Amino acid sequence: MSLPLLALVLLGPWRGYEVYQPTIARAYVNDCDAQGLKYNHDSAVAWFGDRWFCLWNANSVPEEGRPGQLNYQATSRDGLSWSTPVACFSDPAACATPVPCPRGTQWQPNLLVVEGELWAVWTQFSGDALAGTYLARLDRPDGQWRCQRLLFDGQPDPQLDGAPWSIFATQNPVRLRSGRVLAPVTISQRGGRAADAPAGIDSWWAQPKRNSVLYSDDRGATWRCSPGAWQTGRSWAQWEPTVWEAADGRVLMLARNNDPRTVAQGGPRPSQMLLLSSSADGGATWTPHQPVPLETVSSRMQVLPLAGGRHLLLHNDWPAAQFVRDRRNLALFFARGDGPPFSAGPGFSGDEPVVAYPQGWIAGDRLLVSYSQGNQYRSIKVASISPLPRPDRWYLWPRSNLPPSPRPQFAAGGLTFGGEQRVAGRAPATCQGQFTVAALLQAREGVVFDNRPENAVAGVVLVLSGGKPFAHLRTPEGNLFSALQLPPDGGYLALSADAAGGWAEFRVGQQADRQRIGPPTVGFGGGAPAVGHKRLSSSALSGLHGRVRRLYWFDRLLTPAEHAALAAGQPPADARLVLDPADAAALARDWELPAEQAAGGLRVAGPRVTFAGEASAGVESDPGLPLAVQLRGRLVSGSRHVLLTVGDADRAVRLEHLDGRLQLTAGEASSPLGAVGPAFDLTLQYDGQQVTCGTARLPLPPGPQGTWLYLGEAYRRGLLPAEAVWELDLPNLRTRTGAAD
């Protein structure tokens, strides 16, 4: 079945595709386990002269925004082996005009090369005469930085609407074809409260904020601040813009929706996490923010130009309906043209937990991306990606966005967790003011134990971050951090607390770290416990990555001898909860494992591309409409498949197979196409107002912002098992665009 081609006046020939499969190598710039800097975030990377530079903000304390947070740099000749970090703007050895920051914080250095100089735009919050946003310049790779504080009418805070606005530098600056430099920033009105800030949004969160740019037309000597852009109805909830210049001279801006509320509370859906604005006057003024219907997370992103008119978005390809939840799978999104739309493609962070804030730099045929890895303890990593897409080729972009099964796997005498898995206790874990939770495990990141109820007003949570434990006990101290380190090959981890005695104690091996605590606000007892990802609506903790050999809960304290015996595999007999794969009866009595299920995957073998379950791949296309797509394939197994998805996340149209018949679906509407055999040839036309395939035709809701085209299930719904498999004949995938006759 096919669309009559006379319905189109086509502007170009049919075009074929190849699969984009770059080589990806990852390395640490700063490993928080191996080096003294434990909190590392907000990085940027650039090639300057004869080496790579990576800059970021860091602290020896594993918590964001604590005094002592400075900007650091490391360098590399190959992008994979990095020098020891140095404080680049406060150390006289690295900076000829050092900026002291003994009690404040430095933030988010962003990089640009301008006429033989490396520029860094960054911000200092210190509450003194040195607070503000800076331009630092480096004239040679082995030279010293020189820092210039940016002033606006003699003040570090620009005046807009009769009020001062604090500046926060966000992503890398860009230089327009006119020579103007734009430095993306978010500005916050000092002391103000947004009129549209809802109840429960207070303090800094409720301040009016605008995504803006600082711009200079004289190589950074003087700067102006644009009034910026913001969301209608959420004038307090924008953050971290990235900007780029379009072919027609406009400047485009993508930004993060910074509304922390859940969807039920009025917060954004996954398709509203990314915001778009444009400027027709070189960044001086901007249109209001509008959501881009592309499912992702609330986090910093970046857009880079590629050769041949493409643009590249670096962001998380993961649908998160809660604030800063599920920062997984950093990926390459591509647009043929200025974008959006950006089609999701290959992931480059592998199965690493908690990855975010990518910033990239292109040198020749290579893209180097720096990013943050980890939760409280964070490291800086880089991904080296090559070759880049060729300008004269059209590509299929395989995605890496499929979740693993929720059931942990039994392996090597333990349960293996990959970030999304958990086991749930069958009964509440309660106690009378004393408890011990202990485990033998090999893990680096995520929730080890969590017995908080859904409202999270009570209970205990024990978490690993970078191999170091922290806990929250509902005491006045908030998070309790320990400097103890679980060995890479695993060991014994325990947390005890005594409300009456006023102490909590971490144990790793036979080392103990006892800390004073105030009385818990409610108590240590809570709801049903979980090992792994409990996914409370009020929590953004990451799932567990690692292997748990045994775990026990006691509603009492253990003696040092009992700890030693338990670590040697001889637990006391009065454990309330026993997670021990070797003790099947206790495991079945105390815990409930989710049913095993898989989301599928994508495999490329020569001319065959196999889609299993909810696997998908972006199909590169022109931004023009209408779009015609031809594909040939074969149904392999299963009774339901999604063969093609076209449209955005809020207006998706699917070409589906269901029990031997094909149909088009758009929301609740569907249009049948008839029976289909194992092999099929199909042609589909989409023009933004209606979609047609064979005799089936569906009208579309108004408002799509572009043509998102995917093979397979683009927007996961959890409906397709891994056994639903079909094959694409790659040489017979073709598209073309044109104008309606």
Least confident window among 225-229, 412-416, 629-633, 726-730: 412-416
Q: How confident is the model at residue 576 (pLDDT cuts 50, 70, 90)?
A: confident
Residue 11: its pLDDT value, please?
Answer: 54
CA angle 299, 305, 311 (to 5 degrees): 70
DSSP structure class, residue 564: H
What pLDDT, in 10s, does the model give residues 663-715? 999 888 899 999 999 999 999 998 888 889 988 888 887 765 677 999 999 99
pLDDT reported for residue 543:
84
Give one word for 589, left, alpha or beta, with left for phi > 0 and alpha for psi -120 to 50.
alpha
* H, E, C per residue of 664-699: EEECCEEEEEEECCCEEEEEEEECCCEEEECCEEEE
Rounded to whole angstroms, the Cα distance separating 375 from 541 reads 8
Q: Could you please report the per-residue DSSP string of 565-619?
A: HHHTT---TT-SEEE-TT-HHHHHHHEEPPPP---EEEEEETTEEEEEET-EEEE
Give the CA angle between residues 106, 110, 112 to the nearest 5°. 145
Q: Is the pLDDT of residue 303 over 90?
A: yes
CA 228 – CA 249 distance, rounded (Å): 18
Question: In angstroms, what CA-CA distances link 486 with 269, 494, 513, 552, 559?
Answer: 37, 11, 13, 18, 21
Q: Is the pLDDT of residue 741 over 60?
A: no
Pick 205 or 351 by higher pLDDT.
Answer: 205
The domains located in the chain, with CATH, are 5-14+598-740 (2.60.120.560), 409-592 (2.60.120.200)
**351, 684, 689 from 464: Cα distances, Å:** 17, 49, 50
Question: Given CA atoms 186, 190, 191, 192 in this order, what sign does their dihedral have?
Answer: negative
Residue 634 and residue 645: Cα distance in Å, rounded? 17
Q: Which secondary structure element, helix H or strand E, spans residue 204, and what is its range?
A: helix 203-206
- How many CA atoms lie less than 13 Å away from 675 in the CB half-sphere? 1
Q: What is the pLDDT of residue 1?
A: 37
Which three-class secondary structure state does DSSP give residue 230? coil
Q: Give residue 623's pLDDT.
A: 81
pLDDT band at 188 (very low <50, low <70, confident <90, very high): very high
**Quick one: pLDDT at residue 538?**
66
Cα–Cα dist 207/106, whole Å = 21
pLDDT of 68-114, one tens digit each? 999 999 999 999 999 999 999 999 999 999 999 999 999 999 999 99
Lowest-confidence region among 16-25, 406-415, 597-606:
406-415
* CA 306 – CA 364 distance, rounded (Å): 11
Q: What are phi and psi of 108, to 5 degrees?
A: 50, 70
Q: Is the peptide bond before 387 cis (omega within 30 degrees of 0)?
A: yes
Proportion of the chain above pLDDT 70, given as a percent:
97
| 389-412: average pLDDT | 92
Q: Is 50 exceeded by the pLDDT of residue 8?
A: no
- At residue 2, the pLDDT reads 38
Q: Are 608 and 631 in contact (CB under 8 A)?
A: no
Q: Residue 263 has what DSSP assignment?
A: T
**Does 485 have pLDDT greater than 50?**
yes
Q: How far is CA 444 from CA 15, 290, 471, in A?
A: 46, 38, 15
- CA 368 centroid distance within chain: 17
Q: Are 547 and 442 in contact (CB under 8 A)?
A: yes
Where is pLDDT greater, at 561 or 520? 561
Which band of pLDDT confidence, cut at 50, 70 and 90, is reported for residue 521?
confident
More confident residue, 705 or 184: 184
Pairing outcome for strands 395-398 and 18-19: parallel
pLDDT for position 705? 62
- Residue 39: CB atoms within 10 A of its CB come to 25
State the Cα–Cα distance between residues 225 and 246, nearest whole angstrom.
Answer: 21
d(CA 187, CA 111): 19
pLDDT tens for each residue of 411-460: 778 999 988 899 999 988 888 899 999 999 999 889 999 998 877 677 89
pLDDT-based confidence at residue 403 (cuts at 50, 70, 90): confident
Question: Are 157 and 165 within 8 A, CB to CB?
Answer: yes
pLDDT at residue 482, as a whole number: 94
- State the residue for tokens 């881009």: 292
Cβ atoms of 99 and 115 within 8 Å: the answer is no
User: Is pTM, for the whole model, over 0.85?
Assistant: yes
DSSP structure string for 41-59: EEEEEEEETTEEEEEEEEE
Average predicted confidence (pLDDT) for the chain: 92
Report the pLDDT value the prediction gives residue 457, as an integer from 0 to 100: 73
Q: Which residues on adjacent β-strands are paired with residue 516?
A: 503
